[in-house]
Amino acid sequence: MRREVALPFPATSDILSDMKTFTVRELDRQPAVVLDACDKEGVVRIRRRTGQSYTIRPDEPKPSKASAEARRRWLDEHFAWVKRTFPEPISAEQTALVDRLIAGE
């Protein structure tokens, strides 16, 4: 006669994460592989021999490029600063002096 035994906790196979898991050894020997997986998956788990686990996820990416409007505004501000700071171009004599100084004469 077969007797059914109730488990003390519900089965978790249907709620287990698909998170990629690495060992501390893999992190030590192949950190680029772990970080590439983290970039691809969004998060990875590192597990110690003791069973303790840690989660690694990438930081929020910084905006890679400024918009064309922001670049134009920055350039306009820069050129206005240059015009205020250097209202008149330097003379040919001053240019020749700077050239000699750079050449070490």
Tens-place pLDDT, residues 16-47: 557 899 999 999 999 999 999 998 888 999 99
| Residue 14's pLDDT band (cuts 50, 70, 90) | very low
CA-nearest of 22, 29, 18, 16 to 47 is 22
> Is residue 83 one of the residues assigned to a domain?
yes
User: Looking at residues 5-20, what average pLDDT do you find?
Assistant: 58
* 34 occurs within a structural domain: yes
pTM equals 0.44
* Average pLDDT of every residue of the chain: 84
- Domain containing residue 27: 20-56
Instruction: Check pLDDT > 70 for residue 3.
Output: no
Indicate whether 10 belongs to any domain: no
Q: Are residues 52 and 72 in the same domain?
A: no
CA terminus-to-terminus distance, the chain:
106
Count of domains in the chain? Answer: 2
Query: Does residue 86 sit within a domain?
Result: yes
